[in-house]
Copies of this chain bind each other. A is one copy, B any other.
Amino acid sequence: MAEQERNSLMINALSKSLALLRAFGDGHAVLGITELVRLTGIEKSSVQRILATLHSEGMLIRDNKTRRYRLSNKWLHMAYAHYIADPLSSQVMPRLFDLQQQLGQALNLAEICDTSIMYTLRLPVKRTSFEGTLTGRTHPALNTSGGRAILSTWGPTRWQHAAQTWPLGQYTPRTTQDRGRIAELIAKAHEDGYAISEQEVLLNEIGIGIPIKSPGGEARAAIHCSVSLSSWTIDQARAELVPVLLDTARTFFVPEYEDIDESAVE
């Protein structure tokens, strides 16, 4: 929010277009003009022009019956290009694959993305829900073991602040809503070197988050392991899975973030 206007070389039309595109991500995947006006607050005429442009460029599919739009598969190209250029994914992928063979559990790479956790690599084990296999899914960082694991490396000041201000979701009856409790859990994760959560996002699911630290000790990503409460207890998971996961996470080399970092505060 803060530093939008300082650079006078910002293209307004492009900013708006991105805002509009993001609207498709936030739960509403199929949208018409008026809905977009409501969601984004952009003028109808502008929405009209942006949609026309994106559509004519093949980036949007239009349902001629309902006159509503959805994102085309051309966007997968951007995702692909991201992965190719991303030093972390290419490094983590093969190790994650081996780990999955060894442990037989669902594994993800989770990255911090503003105040959310995004699953960027996914290796499911059995037939899960379709959504469960897709990369790009996000959850509020505070709700997830991965998010707490990452925050636990940022130092008490920053994680306290995050625990108090970052958004929270409500997924199951057992999703922790108590921000003080969350701060405690992060502190615990700081001591342990990893975070465990129980049924906070999905019922019957234990989440294990292991931070992937840069040389400076801060993490922007985590290995996330998801196991079922019907086959595992928390203690079993701690004893059998955590050590292996910690071993793996330690071996990654993550360069320091010289870039914006933008700290996602306020």
**A binding-site residues for B, Cβ under 8 Å:** 3-4, 7, 9-11, 13-15, 17-18, 21-22, 24-25, 29-30, 48-50, 52-59, 61-65, 70-86, 89-90, 93-94, 97-98, 111, 113-114, 118, 120, 127, 130-131, 133-138, 258-260, 262
What are the residues of chain B within 8 A of A15 when measuring CB–CB? 53, 57
User: How near does chain B come to A96, taking the closest CB pair, in angstroms?
Assistant: 10
User: How near does chain B come to A23, taking the closest CB pair, in angstroms?
Assistant: 9
Given contacts A73-B82, A137-B80, contact A64 B13 (CB under 8 A): no
- A48 to B48 alpha-carbon distance, docked (Å): 26
User: Do the beta carbons of A59 and B11 come within 8 Å of each other?
Assistant: no
User: How near does chain B come to A114, taking the closest CB pair, in angstroms?
Assistant: 8
- A33 to B154 alpha-carbon distance, docked (Å): 33
User: Do the beta carbons of B134 and A83 come within 8 Å of each other?
Assistant: yes
The residue in chain B whose Cβ has the minimal distance to the Cβ of A48 is B9
What are the residues of chain B within 8 A of A56 when measuring CB–CB? 3-4, 7, 10
User: Do the beta carbons of A75 and B79 come within 8 Å of each other?
Assistant: yes
User: Do the beta carbons of B75 and A111 come within 8 Å of each other?
Assistant: no
User: Do the beta carbons of A30 and B85 come within 8 Å of each other?
Assistant: yes
The residue in chain B whose Cβ has the minimal distance to the Cβ of A138 is B77
- A62 to B94 alpha-carbon distance, docked (Å): 26
Given contacts A118-B73, A120-B73, contact A18 B57 (CB under 8 A): yes
What are the residues of chain B within 8 A of A114 when measuring CB–CB? 58
What are the residues of chain B within 8 A of A13 when measuring CB–CB? 11, 13-14
A70-B86, A73-B86, A73-B120 known; 7 new pairs, CB 8 Å cut-off, are A10-B52, A13-B14, A30-B85, A62-B259, A73-B111, A80-B136, A98-B127
- A98 to B76 alpha-carbon distance, docked (Å): 24
User: Do the beta carbons of A50 and B14 come within 8 Å of each other?
Assistant: yes
- A159 to B97 alpha-carbon distance, docked (Å): 40
- A39 to B229 alpha-carbon distance, docked (Å): 52
- A74 to B77 alpha-carbon distance, docked (Å): 13
